[in-house]
A = this chain, B = another copy of it.
Amino acid sequence: MKSEKIKVIVVDDHPLVIEGLRTSLGEDDSIEVIKCFNNAADLFSSLKIIITNVIVLDVNLPDMNGVEVCKKITKKHPHIKIIGLSTYNNPSIVKQMIKNGAKGYLLKNVTSKELVTAIHQIHKGQSYFSGEIHTILADSIFNTNAIPKLTRREKEILILVSEGITTPQIAKKLVISPLTVETHRRNLIQKMGVTNAAQLVKIAIEQKLI
């Protein structure tokens, strides 16, 4: 006799992906997709009344940052296992997801078969990471590059810098001293471990800070 089905919730803003997940997971007898959501808000309002085992979570949602969603789920519903899903393998995001409770992480180019395996494994209490992700994690064991945390003001100035606005102009815009802007610039360059504004912008975009 079969045991109870694994309850899965899918969160992704692409209807086509949801449809794909529904179909693929529906083919497995031991998995039941109980709900699908396009955004984080709908997910959270439903989590108050619905019980699930696993959440397949797209990291790029329209209304909320994937890492934040993960954090919130883990905090309020620690029993729910989360599998992250994204198109590109951005190391810093993958690490943040895992740090915030994700038990698995896959790229969107996975086969449905692999996804089914992942869900089973995670439901059993194990973890699951696809090949590329595994490499990232292995690298980061040696390469302890912590993600630098920027303050609100720093992020603000970072964006303005990336738009080609100069220090004096930024100062005028924010109604602060140019000397202060220079300080923020300096801190940004230091925190991100870069040598100048050009590289700062590049790294910031890579890190998805802009």
Write the residues of chain A forming the contact surface with B, with a CB cutoff of 8 angstroms: 13-24, 62, 87, 108-112, 115, 161-166, 194-202, 205, 210
Contacts and interface: CB of A to CB of B under 8 A. Distances in A.
B15 A16 contact: no
A14 B21 CA distance: 11
Given A14-B17, A17-B17, 20 more contacts: A14-B20, A14-B87, A14-B109, A15-B24, A15-B109, A15-B110, A15-B111, A16-B112, A16-B115, A17-B108, A19-B19, A19-B20, A22-B23, A162-B198, A162-B202, A164-B202, A197-B198, A198-B201, A201-B205, A205-B205
A106 B198 CA distance: 33
A206 B201 CA distance: 12
A87 B12 CA distance: 12
Contacts of A115: 16
Contact of A24 (B19, B161, B162, B194): B19
A66 to B, nearest CB: 14
Contact of A20 (B18, B166, B197): B18
A160 B135 CA distance: 25
8 contacts: A16-B24, A16-B110, A197-B197, A197-B198, A198-B198, A199-B201, A201-B202, A202-B210
Contacts of A87: 14, 87
Contact of A19 (B112, B194, B197, B202): B112
Residue of A15, A112, A195, A197 with highest tally of chain B CB at under 10 A: A15
A15 B165 CA distance: 43
Nearest to A206: B205
